[in-house]
Structure 1
Amino acid sequence: MEIADFRHNPEKIALLTDSCADLNEKHRKNKPIFVVPLKIRGGQREFSDGVDIFAEDIYRFQEQGEVLYTSLPDWECVKKTLDCIAQMGFEKVIAVHLSSGLSGTYNLVRLYAQERKDLDMQVFDSLSGSLGIGSMLLQAWEDIRGGMSWDELTKHRIPFLIENTCPFFSIDTLEYLQKGGRIGKITALAGTMLNIKPLIGFSEDGQLISVAKVRGRKAVQPKLIELLQIKQVENKRYNIAIANGGAPKEMAELAKKIRDEFPEAKHFWEGEMDATLSTYIGSGVLGACIQFLD
């Protein structure tokens, strides 16, 4: 087991999340970000999100009419991940997990953290998902590299990022949310036949909530940009993140438009939706997020 490089991390802080953070290997490269995968079941098989099943596989199963179910990371996987973190020389862990309004992952890790005596752990409910969580972890690493202390991070910075990270994403169909029982506070639109596309965000308690609706896919990108503009505050520093689920060409178009509209972004991150989230929202998804830094 390699020892981590602590030149920019003197307090030996690791970051832990789950596969719903949508942080692939490229995002995590040279960063102490560790991921525990959620589980996905289809037929007689069980998969680990981001390990042996990916969003593209989910879309294929859905096209074939396969019914999929998700479940929490297993206890042993959490243990092994934290064992690895400790063996690499880390002494402290900041864990940020999928919204408790959607999953029990946060509570699972929180309970397990209480049993660890070799690691100082602080576990946070992101009240978010996908590119929202990913943005929090990427910014937290920037803050660690910038010299922010453990106390500042855990008492102030992470809670601030949770409160000030605002993701939105479009859904091409509500079919899978309804089937999976994750419809939450989203109104089941009777206008699906009229090509109505809902745009989704997160409520204060971390449940999915409908924030807007448009007619047709062409209206999705302008509405996402409008939602970011509404959130934007003058003289506030911010990051931008975008993601897609089975819509890479449209995301490329959206990326150009958002870069032009938000040229002052400190960071601009791009990603792809995870398999777990794709189980409930299907393909054809676009997401955009603004995160305030002060």
Structure 2
Amino acid sequence: MRIGLVTDSCCDLPRDFLNRHRIVILPITIQGNDGTFIDQRDPAATRDFYRRQAAQGVADFESQPYSAEQIKELFLSKLILEFDMVFCLTVMKSRSQIYNHATQAARAILTEYRPIREQANMMKPFVLRVFDSGSIFASQGLVVAEVARLISQDATCSEITKHIERLANTAQGFLMPANLGQLRHQARRKGDKSVGFLSYALGSALDIKPVIRAFQGETTPLSRVNGFAAGVDKLFSLAIEHIQRGLVAPTVCVSYGGDPAVVTDMLAYQRLKQAAKQHNVQLLLCEMSTTAGVNIGAGGVAIAFASETVAVLD
């Protein structure tokens, strides 16, 4: 059976990984002060987006995911002929309409696919499973990377489904902005008062950064750290600790709001890389989704791993 994998551009994975595993991306369109950007996980375009964002400072952004009709068209025109089964894993539904759009599209796809496949002499049924990953950005990348790994190992559909369900409960993502200006600006535009003026002013003056956790379908503030570099060190040390304890899945994902070369030069990342190698864990580093960037600004860092132990940041 030819098994395909579809996700949206909130998913933080390197382009070479996406290409190698034939992972199909549902693009997200970003409307900003300087025009329109379509996020298709293109590394050069994404890095350029972050350079422009850093230069212009705080700005207004709106994001628009693929509609149900666009998803339906993608499947019926292409994917139902390329694959016999597709797993579609979306960003957590509490943060986006992509899951709802994909679910709505799936009903139409499964109703209309048969004549198209029969015309191409494909008589086997087409199967489509849509999952809310319960994750976002680096943690969504983790879930998708794990499904890709299982597909490459010829795992059964049942085995893949069970692993997705387990990861929905154990994948933990952590996101830290470099600058609070964009975070507060977007939060106010959306009516989110979690980043108030006083905490913003104090945070900016004292270089205190919030750490946001994505876990089991929700994003919540986890902690505050004093200084960006110190915060990155704590997050990477936390991942190392869980690698040494033993992970649910042999994958750790890291993303950065800009050129990932900035991260590879960090001593904390070098320690993480060494720990991953020692424990046979694949470490995936890439540009952060622009959907994350428009909400937290350029220069942010995200990391994700799956562990039975709920992580605590001291």
User: For this structure pair, what is the TM-score category when the shorter chain's length is used for normalisation?
Assistant: 0.7 to 0.9
Matched, 1:285 2:300: yes
Worse-superposed segment, 179-188 or 278-287: 179-188
1:20-40 CA-to-partner distances (Å, cap 9, x unmatched) read 102343111231311111121
Deviation readout 1:214-271 (Å, 9 max, x if unpaired) = 1112212221024325645735463222111126354112321212344314211111
Once residues 88 and 14 of structure 2 are traced to their aligned partners in structure 1, the CA distance between those partners, rounded to angstroms, is 17
Which position in structure 1 is the counterpart of 2:291?
A: 276
Q: Is the 8 A contact 1:241 1:289 kept in 2?
A: yes
Q: SS of the residue aligned with 1:78?
A: helix
Whole-Å separation in 2 of the counterparts to 1:14 and 1:183: 38
SS at match of 1:168: strand
Instruction: Confirm or deny that 1:54 pairs with 2:65.
Output: no
Q: Deviations over 1:47-92 (max 9, x none)?
A: 321278635325514632542111222344313331321122x111
The offset of 1:109, in angstroms, is 0.6
1:99 Cα deviation (Å)? 1.2
Q: Which amino acid aligns with 1:112?
A: A
* Residue 41 (1) aligns with residue 31 (2): yes
Structure 1 stretch displaced more, 270-279 or 176-185: 176-185
State how many pairs are aligned: 280
SS in structure 2 of the partner of residue 139 of structure 1: helix
Q: For structure 2, which runs of at least 5 residues remain unmatched after alignment? A: 114-125, 309-314
Counterpart residue number, 1:4: none
Deviation, 1:186, is: 4.8
The answer (yes or no) to whether the contact 1:127–1:162 under 8 Å persists in 2 is: yes
- Report what 2:252 is aligned to: 240
TM value normalised by structure 2:
0.79
* Alpha carbons of structure 1 residues 183 and 14: separation in structure 2 relative to 1, 3 Å: farther
Asked if the contact 1:97–1:125 (Cα under 8 Å) also holds between the matched residues in 2, the reply is yes
Which protein has the larger Cα radius of gyration, Structure 1 or Structure 2?
A: 2
The SS at the match of 2:302 is strand
Letter in 2 for 1:228: A
**What one-letter code is carried by the residue in structure 1 that aligns with 2:290?**
A
Distance 1:186 1:121, change over 3 A: farther
1:198: which partner in 2?
A: 210
Percent of counterpart pairs with the same letter? 22
- Provide the residue aligned with 1:78 in structure 2: 71
Equivalences for 1:190-229 in 2 at 5 Å?
Answer: 190=200, 191-192=202-203, 193-206=205-218, 208-229=219-240
TM-score under structure 1 length normalisation? 0.84
Distance (Å, rounded) in 1 between the aligned partners of 2:207 and 2:287: 24
Q: Give the secondary structure class of the aligned counterpart of 1:222.
A: helix
Q: Distance in 2 between matches of 1:148 and 1:195?
A: 47
Bigger helix share:
2
Query: Structure 1 unaligned runs (5+)?
Result: 1-10
- Do residues 68 (structure 1) and 91 (structure 2) align? no
After TM superposition, the runs of 4+ consecutive aligned structure 1 residues lying more than 6 A away are none
CA distance in 2, matches of 1:278, 1:183: 18
Could you tell which deviates more after superposition, 255-264 or 127-136?
255-264
Most deviating of 23-32 and 46-55: 46-55
